[in-house]
Structure 1
Amino acid sequence: MSIGHGQSGAASERVSELVSGNAVVVFTVRGCCICHAVKQLLFGLGVGPAIVELANDTSDKDINAAIFRTIRGGTDNCNRFPVVFVGGKFLGGIEAVLAHHIRGALVPLLKDAGALWL
């Protein structure tokens, strides 16, 4: 999925639209093995997340900045990818996703968000 380039205000608006309009959104960086692992975990659970893959260079800097502006107040660990939102709320990165999964809290969270129906 592409969210386009442009002014930072437009990028922030698009990030907000994606987060609020999808049960699960995963922002990734092209070629990141950790991002791949999160996507595979979600796919394995039967989730079809909205995935936004950013280039691993400066071409997506407005979008990257908009993502981290969106989550700034939520965590002190908000400068790495992947960035996962569930039900319109920032869940976290790989550590948070795996912690929820290990505790058995990820599937109920995904069900509550409407990402799983079973």
Structure 2
Amino acid sequence: MDKVMRLASEKGVVIFTKSSCCLCYAVNILFQELRVNPVVYEIDQDPEGREMEKALMRMGCNTPVPAVFIGGQLVGSTNEVMSMHLSGKLIPMLKPYQAMC
């Protein structure tokens, strides 16, 4: 769990994914459309990926990926991120991390 927390707090927006996960891809695209460039960690490419997946589940993720962290805090997976976006709560959280165009 230490590695997950360290990685999640190193940058403003961090997503833990798996390379074959279509929901991970969709969440990543959403952030890019909102002008946020998240740091993406593909846990299936990490030698410690199994342990990271277990840590994410212990932290409260219903599904281990995608696991979205904003400002070092766990936001959740696809359902939570999309719900926040539809309710208008996601963009204010992302303001500090949006790229200026």
Same-fold status (TM-score > 0.5): yes
TM bracket (short chain): 0.7 to 0.9
Identity of aligned residues (%): 32
TM-score where L is the length of structure 2: 0.84
Equivalent AA in structure 1 for residue 98 of structure 2: L
Which residues of structure 1 form unaligned runs of 5+?
1-11
Q: 2:58 aligned with 1:79, yes or no?
A: no
* CA RMSD, 1 decimal: 2.1
Deviation at 1:13, TM superposition (A): 2.4
Q: 2:96 aligned with 1:96, yes or no?
A: no
SS of residue in 2 equivalent to 1:108: helix
Which residues of structure 2 form unaligned runs of 5+?
none
Q: 2:10 aligned with 1:26, yes or no?
A: no
Matching residue of 2:33: 44
TM-score where L is the length of structure 1: 0.73
SS of residue in 2 equivalent to 1:48: coil
Change (3 A) 1:63 1:79: same
Q: Which runs of 4+ in 1 moved over 3 A?
A: none
Between the two proteins, the alignment pairs up a number of residues equal to 99
